[in-house]
Chains A and B, each alone.
Chain A
Amino acid sequence: MATKASPEDVRRLAALSRIEISDADLQSFAEEFDAILAYVGKLEELTLPSVSERVLPAVRNVLREDGEPHAPGVYTEKIVEQFPERDGNYLSVKQILSHD
């Protein structure tokens, strides 16, 4: 697991994360990544129990019946106020499908 991160790896992860990293920062991110991964890589030494021996959490799969809806529109204005762009009570976004 002794992974080495190259500036190119960092650029690829940034693209997956929808983040842009300047060329100047790529190298330092890669170096920090190496240090972090070297530390986290200690995990490799661990021998772990099989899946069947694992303990499940006390609270899981919490479901409830739908019910008691609030009156329509009572929160609309507050939420719409946070929109960067609005068209009436609609969220205005860029066109995502092209007609070309």
Chain B
Amino acid sequence: MTKLNELTITEAARMLRAGECTVRELWDACALVAQERSLELNAYLELFDADNVAIAAAQKRIDEEGEKAPLLCGIPLAIKDNILIEGHVASAASKMLENYTATYDATVIKKLKEAGALFVGRTNMDEFAMGSSTENSAYGTVKNPHDVSRVPGGSSGGSASAVASHGAIASLGSDTGGSIRQPAAHCGLVGLKPTYGAVSRYGAIALGSSLDQIGPFGKSVADTKALFETIYGKDPLDATTTDSSTYPVRECGEKLRIGVPRHLLTEGIDADLLEAFETTLTKFSDEGHTLVDIELPTSSYALPVYYVIMPAEASANLARYDGVRYGHTARGKDLLEDYVKSKTEGFGKETIRRILLGTFVLSSGYIDAYYRKADAARGLLTSEYDEAFKTCDVIAFPTTPSPAFKFGEKTDPVSMYLEDVFTVTANLTGMPALSVPMGTVVRAGSTLPVGMHFTAPKGAEDVLFKAGAFVTGETL
């Protein structure tokens, strides 16, 4: 029999309703494994004590409501450390917020609590979500459960590692340039970056406000969908949120039209990873789905565009950490010195690098050449995607060019930034995107998962789930 902590949400929900296990047993199974593997993996920054009231309430609700109880009722989840849970520290894996206790629940947490979900702990990440390997955490790196000498990806590396090691049934992360999809690919999970505005960011620690989205990690497409459907929706506390009427409904037939930008796949991708991608595409066409060649000419500029927009927004967002009202506080001889000392001591190196870069691209004399140009290019990129979606339902490419890499392998910033070469476009265009496991490759004796990436038009998450479920062989 599968261990309780290794179940998916849908399997666990069925067993809970059938009385084959209790909420307490499910919690204990996850909490125990999370504890046992915490030193080795460092996926969690903090494991929470069992919330006996919430566990009892979830059990009572399942007993009384049965099938009508929310699917997530009694399900233990892991939450990225940049999402606020009232009464718990939310540090964004930074020294700056080491002692910051959340004074309110993020909207996504409020919704999960209403659904009866439980929280195993808060997960490690790259500081302020800046990174692609979780090597930028102020609290140590996170290990990939498939090979502990390798990174889990980032920035939501802890949320991915926690679920892949079965220390939680599913988790939440945040995705600014690929921070859910890339670790999902590296850890063999399904990860969704929802449409910009689909999920409220109220209570999420901001990195790049025109790019950030909170999204789910799951062991299956069905789990990812269940989490998404619990947390999405318009929120008066986040003015950027959308509702079902914001974007036109996308009708797609039983058979999907898969757009493939062949021109992006000619170089820089590992041969065996590309082979896994081609094999998956062949499965689609064998089942009667159509493969469509598409052109996205501006895509090769997406990463440079991203590395102007994101640091610009990060430098503005992180200006709030000044040692005055909350967070790390250091004292100097005057107020200016208070600011400088607090920031210099509180921020890690990559955070400082991006603040400086953002300050540069926004500074007088450079804002036109960098920020305004990047902003305009972003519009062009979006219209190319819109055009491509006239001939296809989803766009497919590999999530990453290579599988999970070893610690310390990417030492210069640009080579690390290239990890996100395929994923950033969905953030720049605001479109929803999903990574699903498409197979494995072998590196130095380790079998490592690799991911397939689908992008859909805004508001068309359902089309993504359909494409993803085909790859995983699920029936939704």
Which residues of chain B have C-beta atoms less than 8 A from A41's C-beta? 304
B373-A17 in contact (CB<8A): no
Is B377 an interface position by the 8 A CB rule?
yes
B101-A82 in contact (CB<8A): yes
B273-300 vs A, Cβ < 8 Å mask (1 yes, 0 no): 0000000000000000000000000101
Chain B 350-396 residues near chain A, CB threshold 8 A: 352-353, 355-357, 359-360, 363, 366, 369-370, 373-374, 376-377, 379-380, 382-383, 386
Q: Which chain B residue has the least Cβ–Cβ distance from A45?
A: B301
Q: With A16-B363, A46-B301, A84-B326 in contact, do A55 and B383 touch (Cβ < 8 Å)?
A: yes
Which residues of chain A have C-beta atoms less than 8 A from B325's C-beta? 82-84, 91
Which residues of chain A have C-beta atoms less than 8 A from B104's C-beta? 75, 78
From B319, B356, B377, give the contact of A10 (CB < 8 A).
B356
B414-A82 in contact (CB<8A): no
Q: How many residues of A contact B (CB 8 A)?
A: 46
Chain B's interface: helix, strand, loop or mixed, by majority?
helix
Is A59 an interface position by the 8 A CB rule?
yes
User: In whole angstroms, what is the CA distance A18 to B236 when docked?
Assistant: 34
How many cross-chain pairs have Cβ atoms below 8 Å apart between A and B? 135
Which residues of chain B have C-beta atoms less than 8 A from A99's C-beta? none
A58-B247 in contact (CB<8A): yes
Taking residues whose C-beta sits less than 8 angstroms from the other chain, chain B's interface range is 35 or more
Which residues of chain A have C-beta atoms less than 8 A from B247's C-beta? 58
User: In whole angstroms, what is the CA distance A96 to B103 when docked?
Assistant: 28
Which residues of chain B have C-beta atoms less than 8 A from A57's C-beta? 430
Is B334 an interface position by the 8 A CB rule?
yes
User: In whole angstroms, what is the CA distance A96 to B334 when docked?
Assistant: 8
Q: With A17-B343, A48-B376, A84-B326 in contact, do A75 and B103 touch (Cβ < 8 Å)?
A: yes
A84-B103 in contact (CB<8A): no
Is A43 an interface position by the 8 A CB rule?
yes
A82-B100 in contact (CB<8A): yes
B359-A17 in contact (CB<8A): yes
A18-B322 in contact (CB<8A): yes
B335-A94 in contact (CB<8A): yes
